[in-house]
Amino acid sequence: MLDVRDLTLTLGERRILDHLDLHVGSGEIVAVLGPSGVGKTTLLRVVAGLVAPDSGTVEIDGHDVTRLPTHRRGVGMVFQDDQLFPHLDVAANVAFGPRMRGTGAAEIGRLVTAALGEVGLDGFETRRVDTLSGGEARRVALARSLVAAPRILLLDEPLTGLDRQRRDRLASDLASVLRARHTTALLVTHDPAEAEAIADRSVTLG
């Protein structure tokens, strides 16, 4: 599914990624562990097409996507800060991707309802995002990524900033949703317990 081969990236005077190789199988959830500054988030950004590597390749389903723009990779990404649109309600945030692709209104409604149900937010469609708790906002961000049915889902510290109870519950729900959808996922975290709760296996950078 995902093959990162001999990936190298230097920013300024610093080598962030150094001949990195990584394989993620179809439907597999892989956690990337390591201390701050070792390139975990940078790896996700390279896979997503937000940063170009100095050398090496990114392959998805056997196709070299290293120079493809983000919107042509079939990759979804959940950022640490959620990046929800504050002027839109929950349903409109989740529907943003399908609407931009020209999906019909009835199908968008079905997709949004299904995605919100999967992440435990039934009935939240008309809620304003600025009234949500941190955990609820994180679930909306996850639903927005899932509704696009990405070939690969990239998760950058998805449980950061939540208290232990919410972290544990969201970790369990996230693992269940990803496995039910057979979603291939790359999860960045600094927490081995979080990796163990969600991922099939872990790799460590640095």
In a domain, 42, yes or no: yes
In a domain, 138, yes or no: no
Q: Tell me the two tokens of residue 167.
A: 């972290």
In a domain, 144, yes or no: no
In a domain, 22, yes or no: yes
In a domain, 23, yes or no: yes
In a domain, 82, yes or no: no
CB 144 within 8 A of CB 114: no
The predicted-structure confidence for 99-119, as pLDDT tens digits, reads as follows 988 999 999 999 999 999 999
Per-residue pLDDT, 82? 73
In a domain, 33, yes or no: yes
* C-beta pairs of 109-114 under 8 Å, 24+ apart in sequence: 111/147, 112/143, 112/147, 114/147
Give the global pTM.
Answer: 0.93
The predicted-structure confidence for 22-54, as pLDDT tens digits, reads as follows 999 999 999 999 998 899 999 999 999 999 999
- From residue 193, how far is each of 28, 159, 170 by CA, in Å? 18, 12, 13
Per-residue pLDDT, 33? 97
The predicted-structure confidence for 131-180, as pLDDT tens digits, reads as follows 999 899 999 999 999 998 899 999 999 998 888 898 999 999 999 999 99
Positive/negative CA dihedral, 86, 175, 32, 97: negative
Per-residue pLDDT, 95? 96
The total of structural domains in the chain comes to 1
CB 91 within 8 A of CB 62: no
In a domain, 179, yes or no: yes
- From residue 53, how far is each of 8, 61, 79, 151, 170 by CA, in Å? 6, 19, 20, 21, 32
Cα–Cα distance between 66 and 79 in angstroms, integer?
21
Range of the structural domain that residue 176 is part of: 2-74+150-204
Q: CATH number, domain at 51? A: 3.40.50.300
